[in-house]
Amino acid sequence: MKIYKVGGAVRDQMLGLPVKDTDWVVVGSTPEEMAALGFKPVGRNFPVFLHPETHEEYALARTERKTGMGYKGFEFFTSPATSLEDDLKRRDLTINAMAMDADGRLIDPFNGEADLRQGLLRHVSPAFAEDPLRVLRVARFASRFGFKVAPGTMDLMKQLCTREELLSLTPERVWTEIEKALQGKYPGRFVLVMRACGALAILFPEINCLFGIPQPKEYHPEIDTGLHTLMVLNQAARLSDDPEVRFAALVHDLGKGETPPAQWPSHRGHEERGVRLVEALCNRYSVPNAFRDLAVMVCRHHLDCHRVNEMKPETIVKKLEQMDVFRRPERFEKFLLACEADARGRSGFEFRDYPQAGLLREARRVAADLDTRTLAAQGLKGQAMAREIRKHRIENVSKVFKPGQ
């Protein structure tokens, strides 16, 4: 038997990136031999084993055959005669189809090293088009590395997007790819690649329809709402590594997609329209609650943050309470980052100061500065306590905050 390091571990090592997980392929062995050597079997559909000491994954070299629709519609085959090249050939992209032997020698039958140097995402074989999940994976790798998609690979992705198979992907698998893409250095590229191949219109029509919708030029020199969304997402990536902040930035303006054309370029009321769309998208893809809650909060209240210096103290306190910032200060900080990304995600505004975040943060700080134990000692309870707390919060904000300052 021979053992090779494969896939992402080889790719990342060649790019000089940290290698988090290492996968191995075993050639010339059997499940029985692996078990006899102390490896623990964990694979259901094909033989994968955990090393008895390192607990890294070791998979027997295998081939595959398309048997049905969707991500799980494959049957895998393995035997001692299956070669390393047979195994690598079933992989999606050339940059993921490289291996290294025990001496560090590169095995690269599909020229993945050359594509790494050129920054190119290229499919290994026509079998690429058998797995619809690969559309999202390519877009995700574009987000992570900033690479371009080879024309032939884009053609195959477009073919997949004309089939029902893209809709056969489970919500969990779709969300996994989105979350990984949002952690990439260039998350806007995920949206661009998905749109170029047609997948955005199928899987995320709420985002796709934003392209071509105009906004007021005096506030949005870029005019196009889809372009603004990309700019906000890129600003969020510059401001924060947190995928929750980036997701909120991506969906913050969904409501503009339902503005009647007769009202363009105005989008009055888009915040509440957007909340419904964000919630529906999150339900459709089983988005975790933390992502959903922040996205809804940003969608509903981002204009409040932008206009905080125009508000009366009582209005500020009301908005802070609606956002539950006194119990959830960590989420509030993420909200401020997403709002700053929105403000800067406009042509010519990319590096402007955003004092509103500091103003709202200070308003929260002084509003929270009260002694509830003293109020409780006065015998206040229930609604009476709530009214007194709000009164003190407004008084505290009034001392440091004046409308129009």
At 253-277, the pLDDT tens digits run: 999 999 999 999 999 999 999 999 9
Q: Which pair of tokens denotes residue 299?
A: 């969608």
Domain with CATH 1.10.3210 in the chain: 204-400
Q: Of 379, 196, 185, 182, which is closest to residue 288 (Cα–Cα)?
A: 182
Say if residue 160's pLDDT is above 50: yes
At 202-212, the pLDDT tens digits run: 999 999 999 99
* Distance, CA of 9 to CA of 18 (rounded, Å): 9
Q: How far is CA 373 from CA 77, 253, 320, 384, 402, in A?
A: 68, 41, 21, 14, 28
At 309-341, the pLDDT tens digits run: 999 999 999 999 999 999 999 999 999 999 999
CATH of 204-400, one of 1.25.40, 1.10.3210, 1.10.357, 1.10.1060: 1.10.3210
Class of domain 120-203: mainly alpha
Cβ atoms of 98 and 11 closer than 8 Å: yes
Q: Measured in whole angstroms, how far is the alpha carbon of residue 293 from the centre of its chain? A: 15
Q: What is the pTM of this model?
A: 0.91
Say if residue 146's pLDDT is above 50: yes
Domain with CATH 3.30.460.10 in the chain: 1-118
Neighbours of 51 (CB within 10 A): 15
Q: Which pair of tokens denotes residue 337?
A: 């980052």
The winner for highest mean pLDDT among 159-168, 312-321, 373-382 is: 312-321
Cβ atoms of 60 and 82 closer than 8 Å: yes
Look at residue 70 in the predicted model and tell me its pLDDT. 47
At 47-88, the pLDDT tens digits run: 799 999 998 999 999 887 665 554 455 566 677 878 999 999
For the segment 104-133, the average pLDDT, to the nearest whole number, is 95
Look at residue 400 in the predicted model and tell me its pLDDT. 84
Region of 290 please: left (phi>0), alpha (psi -120 to 50) or beta. alpha
Domain with CATH 1.10.110.30 in the chain: 120-203
Look at residue 67 in the predicted model and tell me its pLDDT. 54
- Spatial neighbors of 28 by CB under 8 A, at least 6 apart, are 1, 2, 61, 80
Say which range, 3-17, 180-194, 287-301, 363-377, has the weakest mean pLDDT. 363-377
Q: Which pair of tokens denotes residue 280?
A: 């529906």
Residue whose tokens read 């957007």? 274
- Please give the mean pLDDT across all residues of the chain: 92
Domain topology for 1-118 = Beta Polymerase; domain 2 (3.30.460)
Say if residue 21's pLDDT is above 90: no
At 218-237, the pLDDT tens digits run: 999 999 999 999 999 999 99
Element counts in the chain: helices (H) and strands (E): 19, 11
Q: How far is CA 176 from CA 172, 228, 236, in A?
A: 6, 25, 20
pLDDT confidence of 360, banded at 50, 70, 90? Answer: very high
